[in-house]
């Protein structure tokens, strides 16, 4: 009995001990695993697309960091007043990726009070480097929202070592983001010069610094000419070299000119050549003319086009006959021929009436005989270099067959009305001519052609001519035309007309009309794009292979695939090509003003246009995307956080670099892996 009793006591004590122990805690989730099969993630994508901020904020307390991360990132794609305070709670999240997402989203809101929330959560004591991704995100985010006073503090940080890559990237990006907001201080410029001129710093940091020096306005880097020349000449990375070329263009010194001219003779990367041509516009024509003329013969069409355009913007009267002779060279493509005609028409002295008449006769014949709408559009703009052609242009209104030409026609008349020599050209009759041109703009606004309307609205705001007084009685016509527009299809034109209405009524320019949610995101289709969809764009120059990015931009990828499935892109043109910037296509009109009867939302996670070949959505403002996309020739950091990235070129960058205006998309196909 004693043994049995002892066993009972032991069992009872053990039972009590077990009952007193706390229940085992749930495992703490630390991994972020996003999948388009995940029902909760689908909900977050839906809430982001419909900008349901309250529904997103509820996920900030979810036990799974995947959902906290995705919900925080959602606010990087749209602005929501009051969201910052909720996002700030995630700046203390135990998961670094969640903190980083919150910092990015706060920066994207662009609100000044984000500065305090970001800086107060910076992890100063991080000897192990655990928080470097988070701290880096904070440094960049303050560049999007903080005050100019903080820019000085940001620029003065000198404690980061050369090996602190993430922190240095954050610092340099923060200073760069400030510059995009037109905020610069000498300390910031000095820091960027320090970065770019020392090979000890990471290439990624030097790259951002070079782009700052190229793009920042109102900076003085003259005293650093010698060092910058040395850096430029020794630089092996094309992405840095092309930015430094633009930076050197801000320094008008003989040594700089010599370096640029020498480099362009040996440069192998056409993109750097294009930027050198841009930089050379800052120097005296006589010193660069010979080099530019040689570049017109360059084997790369972008370089040749840039060189020809140099003579349009920088030519001189005594060379006008030379431009005309170049225009008549039959071995040049039409775009270069028209550019030289434009240069001749712009720079021919007014007293050379016979030559002027001959040039314009040749241009008009060129326009009338061409069947290429892009050539005809280019010719119209060249014809506009002679102001008295306004009568010829006005007569063309009823006869133009394509949207491309109609938009170009209004642009041509706008060029005439904005010319600084307008009153000299039409001395004695300028008021009459002003009114006649203005009437053509009103006619364009009444045409219901959105491209013509947008161009005309912008032209009426040009203060070179007081259209506001001359055409004040036309204000009801402008308002009526605006109200008849089909929204959201014509949102860009609507906002241009509103600016003109405000201008005519002497009001402060209204905030752009926002596009309401008008397109349903089919979350049931998200699983369809989970397995790395890829696309092939077949053009008349060859194939461009894309890897699409459904996790980064699910709505955009679904929209693109839907358009592909309908055969929408077949036959569309690349209507816009800017050398060493982008090629752009997918416009139903072919002039950049085309769209369908819906818009999709911007999707802006923390991706960067830091390489060539990114595929982004063209936009007329946040959440106005639809069918038009672009592919970058080179890094375009200034687009970060504002233009949706939804793909990347994997093969065919050589084709991208060969595309010119008017080249066509033959078809697009999508495959899944």
CATH label of the domain that carries residue 636:
2.40.100.10
pLDDT at 23: 52
Residues 175 and 279 in one domain: no
Residues 533 and 666 in one domain: yes
Task: Give the tokens for residue 298.
Answer: 């360059």
Task: Give the tokens for residue 155.
Answer: 């620029």
Contact assessment for residue 144 and residue 173, using Cβ atoms and an 8 Å cutoff:
no
- Residue 505 is assigned to a structural domain of this protein: no
pLDDT at 2: 42
Predicted TM-score (pTM) of this structure: 0.95
> Looking at residues 47-54, what average pLDDT do you find?
97
Residues 146 and 229 in one domain: no
Contact assessment for residue 291 and residue 262, using Cβ atoms and an 8 Å cutoff:
no
pLDDT at 9: 40
> Looking at residues 492-501, what average pLDDT do you find?
98
> Looking at residues 45-74, what average pLDDT do you find?
98
Residues 107 and 233 in one domain: no
- Residue 33 is assigned to a structural domain of this protein: no
pLDDT tens digits for range 175-208: 999 999 999 999 999 999 999 999 999 999 999 9
Residues 151 and 240 in one domain: no
Alpha carbons 372 and 379: distance in angstroms, whole number: 11
Q: Is the pLDDT of residue 353 over 70?
A: yes
Residues 187 and 49 in one domain: yes
Q: Is the pLDDT of residue 62 over 80?
A: yes
Tell me how many domains the chain contains.
3
Contact assessment for residue 519 and residue 538, using Cβ atoms and an 8 Å cutoff:
no
Residues 90 and 226 in one domain: no
> Looking at residues 638-662, what average pLDDT do you find?
98
- Residue 443 is assigned to a structural domain of this protein: no
pLDDT tens digits for range 103-133: 999 999 999 999 999 999 999 999 899 999 9
Q: Is the pLDDT of residue 13 over 50?
A: no
Last residue of one domain, picked from the residues 295, 321, 338: 295
pLDDT at 350: 85
pLDDT band, very low/low/confident/very high, at 16 (cuts 50, 70, 90):
very low
pLDDT at 365: 97
> Looking at residues 644-648, what average pLDDT do you find?
98
pLDDT band, very low/low/confident/very high, at 25 (cuts 50, 70, 90):
low
Alpha carbons 562 and 554: distance in angstroms, whole number: 12
Residues 182 and 277 in one domain: no
- Residue 304 is assigned to a structural domain of this protein: no
Q: In this prediction, what percent of the chain has a pLDDT beyond 70? A: 96
pLDDT at 81: 86
Among the listed ranges 142-151, 348-357, 648-657, which one has the minimum average pLDDT value? 348-357
- Residue 662 is assigned to a structural domain of this protein: yes
Helix (H, G, I), strand (E, B) or coil at 542: strand
Last residue of one domain, picked from the residues 143, 177, 194: 194
Q: Count other Cβ atoms within 10 Å, centred on residue 617.
A: 24
- Residue 604 is assigned to a structural domain of this protein: yes
pLDDT at 673: 81
Torsion of CA 131, 135, 137, 138, to 10 degrees: 140
Contact assessment for residue 381 and residue 415, using Cβ atoms and an 8 Å cutoff:
yes
Contact assessment for residue 457 and residue 500, using Cβ atoms and an 8 Å cutoff:
yes
Residues 114 and 76 in one domain: yes
Q: In this prediction, what percent of the chain has a pLDDT beyond 90? A: 93
- Residue 165 is assigned to a structural domain of this protein: yes
Q: What would you measure as the largest C-alpha separation in the chain, in angstroms?
A: 133
Higher pLDDT, 237 or 9: 237
Contact assessment for residue 579 and residue 567, using Cβ atoms and an 8 Å cutoff:
no
| Residue 671: strand pairing partners | 534
Q: Is the pLDDT of residue 11 over 60?
A: no
> Looking at residues 316-343, what average pLDDT do you find?
97
- With b for 16 or more beta-carbon neighbours within 10 A and e for fewer, the 187-198 pattern comes to ebbebbbebbbe
Helix (H, G, I), strand (E, B) or coil at 666: strand
pLDDT at 506: 96
Alpha carbons 306 and 390: distance in angstroms, whole number: 27
Helix (H, G, I), strand (E, B) or coil at 9: helix
Helix (H, G, I), strand (E, B) or coil at 536: strand
Residues 239 and 154 in one domain: no
Give me the sheet containing 645-651, strands edge to edge.
574-578, 582-585, 629-632, 614-617, 645-651, 542-548, 534-539, 665-671
CATH label of the domain that carries residue 152:
1.25.10.10
pLDDT at 334: 98
Q: Is the pLDDT of residue 439 over 70?
A: yes
- Residue 413 is assigned to a structural domain of this protein: no
43, 116, 31: which is closest to 74 by C-alpha?
43
Residues 640 and 543 in one domain: yes
Residues 548 and 645 in one domain: yes
Which residue range(s) make up the domain with 130?
39-194
CATH label of the domain that carries residue 271:
1.25.10
């Amino acid at each position: 009995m004693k043994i049995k009793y002892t066993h009972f006591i032991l069992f009872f004590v053990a039972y009590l001990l077990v009952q007193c122990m706390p229940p085992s805690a749930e495992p703490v989730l630390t991994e972020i695993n996003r999948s388009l099969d995940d029902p909760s993630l689908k909900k977050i994508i839906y809430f982001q697309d419909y900008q349901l901020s309250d529904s997103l904020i509820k996920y900030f307390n979810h036990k799974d960091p995947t959902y906290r991360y995705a919900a925080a990132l959602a606010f990087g794609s749209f602005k929501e007043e009051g969201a910052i305070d909720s996002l700030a709670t995630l700046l203390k999240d135990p998961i670094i990726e969640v903190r980083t997402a919150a910092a990015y989203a706060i920066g994207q809101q662009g609100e000044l009070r984000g500065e305090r929330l970001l800086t107060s959560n910076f992890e100063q004591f991080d000897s192990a480097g655990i928080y470097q991704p988070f701290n880096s995100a904070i440094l960049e985010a303050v560049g999007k929202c903080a005050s100019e006073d903080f820019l000085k503090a940001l620029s003065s940080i000198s404690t980061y070592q050369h090996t602190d890559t993430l922190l240095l990237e954050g610092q340099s990006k923060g200073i760069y983001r400030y510059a995009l907001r037109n905020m610069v201080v000498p300390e910031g410029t000095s820091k960027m010069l320090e970065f770019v001129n020392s090979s000890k710093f990471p290439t990624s940091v030097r790259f951002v610094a070079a782009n700052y020096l190229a793009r920042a306005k109102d900076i003085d880097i003259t005293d650093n000419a010698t060092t910058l020349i040395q850096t430029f000449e020794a630089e092996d990375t094309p992405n840095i070299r092309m930015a430094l070329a633009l930076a050197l263009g801000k320094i008008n010194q003989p040594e700089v000119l010599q370096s640029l001219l020498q480099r362009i003779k040996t440069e192998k990367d056409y993109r750097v050549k294009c930027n050198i041509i841009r930089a050379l516009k800052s120097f005296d024509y006589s010193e660069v003319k010979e080099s530019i003329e040689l570049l017109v013969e360059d084997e790369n069409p972008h370089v040749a086009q840039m060189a020809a355009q140099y003579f349009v913007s920088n030519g001189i009267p005594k060379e006008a006959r030379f431009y005309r002779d170049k225009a008549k060279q039959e071995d040049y493509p039409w775009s270069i021929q028209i550019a030289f005609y434009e240069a001749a028409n712009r720079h021919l002295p007014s007293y050379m009436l016979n030559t002027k008449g001959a040039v314009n006769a040749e241009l008009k014949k060129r326009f009338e005989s061409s069947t290429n709408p892009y050539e005809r559009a280019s010719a119209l703009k060249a014809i506009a270099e002679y102001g008295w052609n306004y009568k010829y242009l006005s007569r063309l209104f009823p006869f133009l067959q394509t949207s491309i030409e109609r938009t170009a026609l209004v642009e041509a008349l706008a060029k005439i009305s904005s010319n600084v020599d307008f009153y000299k050209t039409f001395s004695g009759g300028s008021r009459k001519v002003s009114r006649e041109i203005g009437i053509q703009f009103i006619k364009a606004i009444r045409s219901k052609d959105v491209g013509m309307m947008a161009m005309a609205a912008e032209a009426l705001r040009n203060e070179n001519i007081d259209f506001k007084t001359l055409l004040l009685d036309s204000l009801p016509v402008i308002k009526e035309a605006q109200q008849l527009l089909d929204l959201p299809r014509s949102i860009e034109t609507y906002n241009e007309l509103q600016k003109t209405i405000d201008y005519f009524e002497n009001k402060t320019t209204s905030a752009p009309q926002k596009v309401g949610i008008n397109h349903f995101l089919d979350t049931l289709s998200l699983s369809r794009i989970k397995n790395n969809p890829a696309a092939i764009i077949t053009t008349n120059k060859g194939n461009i292979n894309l890897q699409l990015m459904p996790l980064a931009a699910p709505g955009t990828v679904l929209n693109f695939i839907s358009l592909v499935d309908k055969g929408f892109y077949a036959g569309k043109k690349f209507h816009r090509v800017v050398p060493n910037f982008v090629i752009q296509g997918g416009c139903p009109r072919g002039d950049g003003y085309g769209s369908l009867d819906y818009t999709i939302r911007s999707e802006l996670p923390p991706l960067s246009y830091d390489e060539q070949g990114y595929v982004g959505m063209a936009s007329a403002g946040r959440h106005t995307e639809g069918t038009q996309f672009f592919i970058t020739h080179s890094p375009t950091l200034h687009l970060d956080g504002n233009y949706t990235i939804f793909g990347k070129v994997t093969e065919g960058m050589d084709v991208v670099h060969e595309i010119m205006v008017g080249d066509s998309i033959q078809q697009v196909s999508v495959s899944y892996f």
